Amino acid sequence: MSEVEKRHVVTLEINGVRRNAEVEPRKLLVHLIREDFGLTGTHVGCDTSQCGACTVELDGQAIKSCTVLAVMADGASITTIEGVSPVASRLDAVQTAFHEHHALQCGFCTPGMVMSVRQLLRDHPDANEDDIRHGIAGNICRCTGYHNIVRAVESLVAKD
């Protein structure tokens, strides 16, 4: 068996649950999340890190999971869109703001957008419109035109 074909066991905490998986060295984190763990809220949009649909939190930092090999996440803590709310039947603050401000249409980009906005608010709790637009620039939405997404984030800044 060649070095490339060897499989590696990765252990990580995903949405608060410790999980193990045997993976090929070239498997992307996004595919581990979706295929091995069945957490399909993390979307594969472009496979080139342009769209942001695959955004998750890795050790508390928003990252595009199509740019990270699963073996690189060994030992890490990962939060996906399924793990943002402490109670599965309730939305977190960002999800609620998106709902209240009609900041989604088809919903494909929404999970990645929510994860990016969470990072934006951690980094810039007093974000203005320019900060918000810059903060979500790594996420492509083909449906909304971003106006309501920006308004949703502004509503969260105004609450603080």
* Encoded tokens for 110: 């929404």
* Of 63, 82, 81, 87, residue with least CA distance to 73: 63
**Domains in the chain, start-ordered, CATH in brackets?**
8-83 (3.10.20.30), 93-159 (1.10.150.120)
Lowest-confidence region among 14-23, 44-53, 148-157:
44-53
CA–CA dist 73, 49 (Å, integer): 17
CA–CA dist 16, 11 (Å, integer): 12
Task: Reply yes or no on whether the pLDDT at 47 is more than 80.
Answer: no
CA–CA dist 108, 42 (Å, integer): 9
User: At 127, which amino acid appears?
Assistant: A
147 or 160, which is more confident? 147
pLDDT in tens, 50-97: 999 999 999 999 999 999 999 999 999 999 999 999 777 899 999 999
Evaluate whether 34 touches 21 at the Cβ level (below 8 Å): no
pLDDT at 4: 55
Beta bridge partners of 28: 69
**26: helix, strand or coil:** coil
pLDDT at 91: 93
pLDDT in tens, 87-139: 778 999 999 999 999 999 898 999 999 999 999 999 999 999 999 999 999 99
Residues in the chain: 160
Task: Reply yes or no on whether the pLDDT at 1 is more than 60.
Answer: no
pLDDT at 134: 96
CA–CA dist 112, 87 (Å, integer): 19
CA–CA dist 43, 79 (Å, integer): 14
Element (H, E) at 131: helix 129-135
Evaluate whether 152 touches 114 at the Cβ level (below 8 Å): no
107 or 39, which is more confident? 39
φ, ψ of residue 28 to 5 degrees: the values are -80, 150
Mean pLDDT of 39-51: 91
> Looking at residue 102, what DSSP letter applies?
T
Task: Reply yes or no on whether the pLDDT at 34 is more than 70.
Answer: yes
